[in-house]
Amino acid sequence: MADQRENALHYAHGNKENFLNSFKEILAIPSISTDKTHIPDIQRTAEWLAQQLRTLGMQKIQIFPTAQHPIVYGECLDVADAPTILVYGHYDVQPVDPLGQWKTGPFDPTIIGEDIFARGASDMKGQALVTLKAVESLVQTGGLPVNIKWLFEGEEEVGSPNLERFIASHTEMLACDFAVNPDSGMIGREYPTITYGLRGLAYFEIRIYGPAHDLHSGMFGGVVHNPANALAELIAGMHDDMGRVTLPGFYDKVRGLSKEERDELARLPVNESHFLEQTGVPRLYGESGYTANEQTGARPTLDVNGLLSGFTGEGSKTVIPAWAMAKLSTRLVPDQDPKEVHQQLLRYLEQNARADIRWEVIPLAGNPASISDRNNQGVQAMAKALETVWGKRPYFKREGGSIPVVGDMQRLLGVESVVCGFGLPDDNVHAPNEKQNLPTWYLGIDTYIHFFLNLKP
């Protein structure tokens, strides 16, 4: 009997067209989790995934309703003595605005050159399909070499508000040896990557209230504190000259970087010029004393994500707005606690907001950072798979983005995640013209085929 590895790879290479068609199908469903008008699309995507699991011969397939968007589960536990791997994915996507900047319809998947363009192509319908199509290749060529459980959520892009409770109340169903999480990317096309750290998040809306209603800025300019000015002053005060965040106590629990880790991060093949290229800024900015890789992966930050106040239409209108609003978030590192950061923000405003305005803080998403073990069986199997496919040892990186479930699984299931996906830095995730590089996507499928086979006892 021929080797299953060969057969499964052969199957994958012979079914590229079919795999791509599935990919286009799921990309065409606008499963935007922030937007209530897309609830039917969210439901359709969940059903699409359940159907995929059915086709793969999975058992106990269920769509679990939650307070918001459903969770899809399925399993196949037929291989005695083999490890059980929990595969995570999220099927929701970010909103598409500004729609005018898309060159093709965000839900009309379009191939241009080597890339497929659509919202969710990289983050992360593409990565979810990598795991599904790798498993299909194994199922069609002799069966799974390991036991698999699937967990797909529809709320990752809004901070996974219901997932923690779901995991806590289904610990037996989700019990596993370790998890794999492909909701991630590579540091560059030539650089296979395993992500071992993710930042946490504490997200807020700040509202500043001034006069009871908008005022003529000539009649009243000079006697009232303009809420937009006040908000700008408060935000400006949140960083000092060294690029450090000034919320009281913000750095108290920040875990420092060891010399070894700094040396390792310094060896990554991306550096300042990579960030200049990817962003188009004239010059980088950040906390002094740290490299760009450290600033994004291992240091906490604070950013305004949105601002709203006053007149923003065409032309000019002389007005003092009655209120101003900012969406503001902090990215956290171990061992910061999002709830404590909320208190720190309140304290900052108590100390710095003047009595001539009123303010309010509404906490939105929050999750702590996570660091994963780099030496377990799963990481070893993935490192070997990446080396087989790319011909070089993978790089280990700390990611600046957040995937709340990785920490949830550590705390609630006591399991580590192998975080490895095939997005690229220029995929425009969360931005117009999101894409997935297709040659990289196919190599990703090969990688997961090797990964599962490497775990065969």
Q: Kindly list the residues in this chain that would bind Mn ion in the complex (CB under 5 A).
A: 123-124, 183
Q: From CA 337, how far away is CA 207, in angstroms rounded?
A: 23
Q: Give one word for 414, left, alpha or beta, with left for phi > 0 and alpha for psi -120 to 50.
A: left
Provide the b/e sequence for 256-278 (b: ≥16 CB within 10 Å): ebeeebeebbeebebeeebbeee
What's the closest the beta carbon of residue 33 comes to Mn ion, in angstroms?
Answer: 11
Task: Tell me which of 83, 197, 404, 444 binds ligand BES, using CB under 6 A.
Answer: 404
Q: Which stretch binds ligand BES (CB under 6 A): 8-16, 180-188, 345-353, 435-443?
A: 180-188
The interface partner of residue 415, options being ligand BES, Mn ion, none and the CB cut-off 5 to 8 Å by kind, is none
Binding residue for ligand BES (CB under 6 A) from 41, 153, 399, 408? 399
Restricted to residues 97-136, the positions that interact with ligand BES (CB under 6 A) are 123-124
Q: Indicate which single residue of 75, 136, 155, 157 sits in contact with ligand BES (rule: CB under 6 A).
A: 157
Shortest CB 219 distance to ligand BES, Å: 43
Q: Among residues 193, 206, 199, 52, which one has the least CA distance to residue 125?
A: 52
* Residues 336-365 interacting with ligand BES (rule: CB under 6 A): 365
Alpha-carbon gap, residue 355 to 168, rounded angstroms: 44
CB under 5 to 8 A by kind: which of ligand BES, Mn ion, none does 365 bind? ligand BES
| 401 near ligand BES (CB under 6 A) | yes
CA distance 207 to 345: 13
Q: Among 75, 115, 136, 156, indicate the residue that binds ligand BES (CB under 6 A).
A: 156
What are the residues whose beta carbons fall under 8 Å from the beta carbon of 401, sequence distance 6 or more?
Answer: 184, 198, 199
Q: How far is the CB of 17 from ligand BES (least distance, A)?
A: 27
Question: What residue has token string 């750095």?
Answer: 251
Q: Which is nearer to ligand BES, 182 or 227 (CB)?
A: 182
Q: Which of 201, 245, 389, 443 binds ligand BES (CB under 6 A)?
A: 201
**192 lies in the site for ligand BES, by CB under 6 A:** no
Tell me which residue of 445, 453, 456, 455 sits closest to 130, measured CA to CA: 445
Question: Which backbone phi and psi does 297 adopt, to 5 degrees?
Answer: -95, -35
Looking at residue 157, its amino acid is E
Q: For the chain, how many residues are written?
A: 457
Question: From its phi and psi, is residue 196 left (phi > 0), alpha (psi between -120 and 50) or beta?
Answer: alpha
**Taking CB within 5 to 8 Å according to partner kind, which of ligand BES, Mn ion, none is near residue 401?**
ligand BES
Q: Does 155 bind ligand BES (CB under 6 A)?
A: no
Residue type, 336: Q
Among the listed ranges 132-140, 154-162, 287-295, 369-377, the one in contact with ligand BES (CB under 6 A) is 154-162
Which chain residues interact with ligand BES by CB under 6 A? 123-124, 156-157, 159, 183-185, 201, 365, 367, 399, 401-404, 429
